[in-house]
Amino acid sequence: MAEVGIRYGKALYELTVENGSLDECLDQAAVVRDTLLLPACRSVLEHPHIEKTEKLAFIDSIFSGALCTSLSDFLKLLIQKNRESIAGDALAEFIRLGDIRRGRVEAHVVSAAALREEQAVALRSVLTKKLSKQVDMTFEVDPAVLGGFYIAVGGYAVDRTVKKRIEDMRNAVAIH
């Protein structure tokens, strides 16, 4: 299903670029995606016995006409084609393509303890310089990494955690 979602996301991207509404729709897309992925929304949209008209009314009630026309029409199309289940994948692809066009990238940082504000700012600055793109960051605390941090950005990962270093040492000792 992810492949179909990617195709739909690309189509939405091309449409919004063509009609000049990319920026407006991108600003709304993440909120729409996150809302539609909530269990309460999914249970309504993906329920096989709820009529399309009820699903369309549900979408209208959630977003109250506050969506750009392309995004609103896109959601209606998904419902009409019984493709509600791919909304998350399609919107994720749309956002990814839009971010590439805007020169933005998402970085996910995992650390053993929450980073202080100055550490987060310094890390964002380093990544922005290295990638020559605006970097939006999300943070996750995972005590299992023991120390250091892990960064996933643009299809690449940098693992400088203590956990990884210990695993590497174990592997090196096991080989010899």
Q: What is the mean pLDDT of the chain?
A: 90
pLDDT tens-digit map of 126-174? 999 988 888 989 999 999 999 998 999 877 899 999 999 999 898 888 7
CA–CA gap between residue 145 and residue 11 (Å, rounded):
39
Q: How is the chain split into domains, by residue range?
A: 2-100, 104-175
Assign domain 104-175 one CATH number from 3.30.70, 3.40.30, 3.40.720, 3.40.50. Answer: 3.40.30
As a dihedral over the C-alpha atoms of residue 39, residue 40, residue 41, residue 42, rounded to 10 degrees, the angle is 40
The tokens describing 141, both together, are 């605390």
pLDDT tens-digit map of 25-45? 988 998 998 898 899 998 998
Assign domain 2-100 one CATH number from 3.40.50.2020, 1.10.520.20, 3.30.200.20, 3.40.50.720. Answer: 1.10.520.20
pLDDT tens-digit map of 62-95? 888 788 889 999 999 999 999 988 998 999 999 9
The tokens describing 76, both together, are 């209606």
| CB 90, CB 12: distance < 8 Å | yes
